Amino acid sequence: METRLVAVDPEHPDEQAIAAAAEIIRRGGLVAFPTETVYGLGANALDPAAVRGIFRAKGRPSDNPLIVHLADPADLPVVAVPLPLVEPLARRFWPGPLTLVLPRTAAVPDETTAGLDTVAVRVPDHPVALALIRASGCPIAAPSANRSGRPSPTTAAHVLADLAGRIAGVLDGGPAGIGVESTVIRVDETGRCIHLLRPGGVTADQLHRAAPHMDIHDASESAAEAAVARSPGMKYTHYAPRGALTVVRCGDPAANPAEARQRILRAIRRELEALRERGTKTGVLLFGGGEPAGGPVQADLVLDLGPADRPEEAARRLYAALRRFDDAGTEVIFAEAMPETGIGRAVMNRLYKAAGGRVRDV
């Protein structure tokens, strides 16, 4: 299959390009498109055969459910039972990077929800995504448009690197804005608690401000779990570059930030020295925004995603950085931990998953 790449203006997408992509979706095909989070791989969410195509193209395990994308919150009843408790959240954050898990309707096939009786839904905040869903006339199931396990794509070039020849087309609307996926939540039956299933573009703080009367329970994998749960390579990793990535963090809560960073850098420098002697291709991922104390870090590829107090910038650049390590043939990568404030929580969640259990406390 030849994959057609079509450039569109991200603000005012060309109607013909959208109509052609929508025709592919209506016929059960696959089209990748930009959203405000990352690029998605879309198919008609109500067509089981089309949805199976997503799993095939990505090599995604069939027990991992998809997020259903709508163009209009008013269409929610087509795919989900709109509990009154979640309506204020939908009103506040849609269109935007918040995914709600709700009881599904009979219209949604098992393929989309991986057999669950709930469905994950959101309204993306991107003119191209919204135009495509509208023109298709159906809800669009869209996971990130990468091969399963790889870093999510934030540009059309990333999509092609993973999926060229496996999907019908890609709408290229330039780089995705936020850079990490949506926040996934479930509101419990009492209406008093929000379960945070995956941190993402909407921060815990924003949720708290929107629903001050509700408790927010972080049910996503904690840093501590990530450190102990999985031995590398055993269970499947996510968002992972090809090189072995280790998160290096300072576990001492008493250390001040500057001292903590020095300890982390010292540990990384020591590791790099040993690897250099063996001729290993090394990479380092930093959140510093300037030259670290003690001079430049000596690795084959050092990428700095900006200062630790600007997590939005780190989020925007994270996945492209992981792919750059691959392009450079990096075999071993050390990533400095950043504070988990704001969207930094999502950045660290992805890094821990990319590390697949490799975490070093210093």
Binding site for ligand AMP (CB under 6 A): 64-67, 101, 113, 116, 118-120, 143-144, 181, 184, 197-198
Does position 282 interact with Mg ion (CB under 5 A)? The reply is no
Of the pair 66, 123, the CB lying nearest ligand AMP is at 66
Of the pair 180, 359, the CB lying nearest ligand AMP is at 180
Gap between the Cα atoms of 288 and 295, Å rounded: 12
Helix (H, G, I), strand (E, B) or coil at 69: strand
In our burial notation (b when 16+ CB lie closer than 10 A, e otherwise), range 296-326 reads ebebbbbbbbbebebbbbbbbbbbbbbbbbb
Q: What does the CA dihedral 362, 342, 216, 99 come to, rounded to 10 degrees? A: -120
Gap between the Cα atoms of 200 and 206, Å rounded: 11
Does position 144 interact with Mg ion (CB under 5 A)? The reply is yes
Of the pair 21, 45, the CB lying nearest ligand AMP is at 45
From residue 343, give the alpha-carbon distance in Å to each of 31, 210, 313.
28, 16, 10
Out of ligand AMP, Mg ion, none, which partner does residue 118 contact, by CB within 5 to 8 A per kind?
Answer: ligand AMP
Task: Determine contact, residues 350/180, Cβ cutoff 8 Å.
Answer: yes
Of the pair 147, 263, the CB lying nearest Mg ion is at 147
Shortest spacing between CB 75 and ligand AMP, in angstroms: 17
Of the pair 112, 144, the CB lying nearest Mg ion is at 144
CA angle (211 as vertex; 198, 85 as ends), nearest 5: 85
Does position 155 interact with Mg ion (CB under 5 A)? The reply is no
Does position 154 interact with Mg ion (CB under 5 A)? The reply is no
Out of ligand AMP, Mg ion, none, which partner does residue 120 contact, by CB within 5 to 8 A per kind?
Answer: ligand AMP
Shortest spacing between CB 239 and ligand AMP, in angstroms: 10
Task: Determine contact, residues 182/272, Cβ cutoff 8 Å.
Answer: no
Does position 37 interact with Mg ion (CB under 5 A)? The reply is no
Q: Which residues bind Mg ion (CB under 5 A)?
A: 143-144
